[in-house]
Structure formats: C-alpha cells, structure tokens
Amino acid sequence: MQVTEISAEGLKRQYKVVLPAADLASKLESELADLKAKANIKGFRPGKVPTAHLKRLYGKSLMSDVVQNAVNEANRKIVEENNLRLALEPKIDLAQNQAELEQALEARGDLAFTVALETLPTFDVGSFDDIELERQVVEIDDAEVEKTVSRMADQNRAYTPKEGDDAVAAEGDKLTIDFEGKLNGENFEGGSGQDMPVTLGSESFIPGFEQQLVGAKVGEHRKLEVKFPDQYASPKLAGQDASFDVTVKAIEAPGAVTMDDELAKTFGFDTLDALKDAIRERMKDDLAKMSRDKLKRRLLDALDKRYSFDLPDGLVAQEFQQIWGQVEAEQKQSGRSFEDEKTTEDEQRAEYRKIAERRVRLGLVLADVGEKAAVKVEEPELVRALTEMVRQYPGQEKEVWDFYRKNPQALAQVRAPLFEEKVVDHIIGLAKVQDRSVSREELMKVEDLEEGASAAADGKEVETAAG
C-alpha cells in the first residue's frame, strides 16, 4: 500500500492511496482460502470446492470486503503515522474511471483512491486563575414564602354557585362560558370553546375579555369587542380586532382563603410550617440553578473571547445545519417569517453561523480541558440522567431505555451535557468567583448578558466537539 500526502491546507489534509493489483489478488486469494475451508456447497465435499468455482460465486462480494478493509487500513495508517486527531470521519473518493475501477475490482489493475480529512486544531488552554466572575446570590425572605403560600391557597380556594335573578358576575368570580370568536365576521381557528372556566381578574384571556363580563348574569349572551396584542403568539391574530359571542352558563363566588395546617395537608404536608420549609427549599434550588446558569454563561463568554483558533469547517457546517433546521421548524410552527422579525434570511444565516462557530470553539475548549483534567462521567451519574429521560416517555420506558443502552451514539448525547457541567465546575473552581447579593428581579434579567451568550447551553458545546 502506497500512501502519499497530496495537499495540506489549514486543518484539511488529502492523501492518495494506491493498492497494487498484486496485493489485491493476494488478499482475494486469502479470502477465498478462508471461505474454501468453511464452504458447504451441494455437490462438493467440505473443503473440496474448487477455488475457481468459489471465485465465480463469491468473488465480487469478497473483493468488496477486500476494498473496504483496504480503505479502513489506509485510514488507520494515515491517522496513526501522522498522529492526527480527526474532526469528522474521512471522505473517500475513488480516483479512477469506471473501466479502471472494474479492473481493480477484478484484481487486474491497481486500486487508487483519495482520503480527504479534517483535523482538530491544537491550542494552548493555559490556566484559568486570571478569569474573574461574579456569582449573583438571592436571599429568600419570609415575605416571598408567604406570597407563594397565599397564591397556593388562592388556587385551592373553594367556589360556591351564585344563584338568583340578582346574581351577577363580579371581579374574582369564576365563570363557565361558551364563546365563539370572529375576525371580520368570519370564524377563526382556535376562536371557540365550550364549558370554559374563566376567573374574572385573572388576566388569563386576552386584554379586555374578562372585564366585559363583569355584571353578567347566568344565561346572558354578550358580544365582546377586543383586540389581540401586537406580540400575540399567532402572527395571523396579532394586532387584530375581534368579536366574541359569549354565553355565561354558571357563576361561582370565591370562598374564604385559609392558610393553616389544613391547607398544608391538601399539598401533602402535616403542618403549614412544613409546607413553608419545602417552599423555601424549592425556591433556593430554583434560584441557585438560575444563578449557576448565569455564571456558566458568563464563563463561556469569557472563554469565547479568550480563545481564537482555526475551526474545522465540517464541524461548523454540521452545527449550523442543526441550528438552521430548528429555526426553520420554529418558523413553520409559528407562521412568522424573517420579514415579520424585520430581518432577512441572509442576515440570520450570518448570525447563526457565528453561533455555530461559538459552539464549536467552546466545545473544543471544554473537551480539551476535560480530557487534560481527567473529568469522567461515572456510571451512576449516567444512569440517573437516563432514568430522568426515560420518565418522560410513560408506557415506553423499557423501549427508550434499551434504545439508549444499545446505541452508543445516542448514549453519548446523554453523557455530553453531564460531562460539560463537570468541566464547567472544574473551571469555575480555578477561576476567581465573587459572590454578590442581588434581588430576584436582577437575577432574572438577561439584558446584562453578553450578546450571543445563549448560544452556549445544555451540553451543546461538548456534543459538537464530539461530533
């Protein structure tokens, strides 16, 4: 086998491989000899089938195996002898015309092909003790806990029917209604409903809808004139004037709200204090996760600015196609276009290309850091993550579990975000992190994050680097 490098530009390499006809013939004869010892063909004793007969029957199939093995051997030789780290699987191109190829497949001519591959970049990770990060911390006060308990009590509030000719709907009452909406006198999809509950003042319907039902009686028909918000989820309805024919079928008045041990028991706790403690812990966990996510994004922003190196075009293209597919799917689902967003497809492609490059760059950095730090995802951690995923498919748990356990590539997608989080924790442990107390509102702000910070999340970086 002759292997010659024919081009090297940046991260891309191309090699020409030639396997002489004599080698092809030798390998084919070896395959035929192995088959002859095992072949069981009617009319011949075991091991006595003529080689020429086997060649007529199985020659093409065996030569196909010979060629595939030659390609695999060439790839291995190229990678090992040149100490390469591949970004993607090599691309094989049979560098022959049809006649030459047919001769090679009959071992009457040399087999020639090219191997095009793209390598991973090399870069110096360095240390992280000069990275300065701020971790926002929120202290939970009693008022927040009380507010949550009050909201839970309100949701658990009992309602009693309002009866009598003088019973009218008031703010806070729960109504059962039928409604039919129209745009320009025509019904529209999703604009009607029957036996729908609505609590006046809850603002669960579009603006103006609930207010126009105050004072209504059971059995009354009302025509409501409303306008959909300009930023409504459906672009076909956004900003549109609409009318709704509403029939009030029942009115219920809210009962008194009590915050005591009996309320706690309806949520599975023995006492009100136990319920409050559980709420406080849940708040702590939620806020801690928000703080951690924000800290991670700031770290990734810092790493993105810190490193600059050539990226494998194949990885970037692969990541871009995945992102762009999501963009197109979201557009199809929402019905919105680039024009609706006051942009163009070219502008968005350029923007998402940058996001793809960011993800690949950060993925390579995190993968390198994790490898050098010997970060490992232990089996119990993987099992817990997989168990949580399986629970999302009730009734199909075994099938989903078996799929991931038997599919290494799918299992790698479960492992990737776990690995990323452990690498991020490793880097945070080496960086300079300063805690700062903030309000819940400040913690929830996203405006102060770097532009494009959301491009890195949920294990995408390491998954991208892993191909």
The residues, any chain, with a CB within 8 Å of residue 190's CB and separated by 6 or more, are 234
Question: Of 28-32, 159-163, 276-280, 300-304, where does mean pLDDT reach its minimum?
Answer: 28-32
Q: How confident is the model at residue 59 (pLDDT cuts 50, 70, 90)?
A: low
Q: Give the span between the Cα atoms of 99 and 101, in whole angstroms.
A: 5
Q: How confident is the model at residue 341 (pLDDT cuts 50, 70, 90)?
A: confident
pLDDT at residue number 456: 42
Q: How confident is the model at residue 459 (pLDDT cuts 50, 70, 90)?
A: very low
pLDDT at 322 over 50: yes
Q: Which domains does the chain have, with CATH numbers?
A: 2-118 (3.30.70.1050), 158-254 (3.10.50.40), 270-465 (1.10.3120.10)
Percent of the chain predicted with pLDDT > 90? 64
Question: Of 69-83, 263-277, 286-300, 372-386, where does mean pLDDT reach its minimum?
Answer: 69-83
Say which residue, 433 or 333, is predicted with more confidence. 433
Question: Of 87-96, 305-314, 386-395, 404-413, where does mean pLDDT reach its minimum?
Answer: 87-96
Q: Give the span between the Cα atoms of 105 and 28, in whole angstroms.
A: 10
pLDDT at 450 over 60: no
Please give the full DSSP string across 335-403, using - where no structure is assigned.
---TTTTT--HHHHHHHHHHHHHHHHHHHHHHHHHHHHTT----HHHHHHHHHHHHTTSTT-HHHHHHH
Mean pLDDT of all residues in 45-52: 69
Q: What is the pLDDT of residues 28-40, one digit of tens each?
A: 777 777 776 777 7
CA-based nearest residue to 190, from 249, 230, 234, 128? 234
pLDDT at residue number 101: 73
Question: Of 87-96, 284-293, 313-322, 349-358, where does mean pLDDT reach its minimum?
Answer: 87-96
Backbone dihedral region for residue 110 (phi beyond 0: left; psi -120 to 50: alpha; all else: beta): beta
User: What is residue 237's DSSP assignment?
Assistant: T
pLDDT at residue number 453: 38
Question: Of 173-182, 205-214, 443-452, 458-467, where does mean pLDDT reach its minimum?
Answer: 458-467
CA-based nearest residue to 179, from 131, 248, 274? 248
Model pTM score:
0.74
pLDDT at residue number 467: 40
Q: How confident is the model at residue 305 (pLDDT cuts 50, 70, 90)?
A: very high
Q: What is the pLDDT of residues 145-184, one digit of tens each?
A: 999 999 899 888 889 999 888 899 999 999 999 999 999 8
Q: How confident is the model at residue 299 (pLDDT cuts 50, 70, 90)?
A: very high
pLDDT at 466 over 60: no
pLDDT at residue number 403: 93
Q: What is the mean pLDDT of the chain?
A: 87
Q: Give the span between the Cα atoms of 146 and 138, in whole angstroms.
A: 17
Backbone dihedral region for residue 99 (phi beyond 0: left; psi -120 to 50: alpha; all else: beta): alpha
Q: Give the span between the Cα atoms of 457 and 300, in whole angstroms.
A: 9
pLDDT at residue number 51: 67
C-alpha distances in Å from residue 96, one per residue of 8, 104, 109, 111, 284: 22, 9, 11, 8, 66
pLDDT at residue number 449: 42
Say which residue, 292 or 447, is predicted with more confidence. 292
Please give the full DSSP string across 146-208, using - where no structure is assigned.
HHHHHHHHHHT--EEE--STT----TT-EEEEEEEEEETTEEEEEEEEEEEEEETTS--SSTT
**Between helices 272-306 and 408-430, what is the axis angle to 10°?**
90
Q: Give the span between the Cα atoms of 458 and 451, in whole angstroms.
A: 18
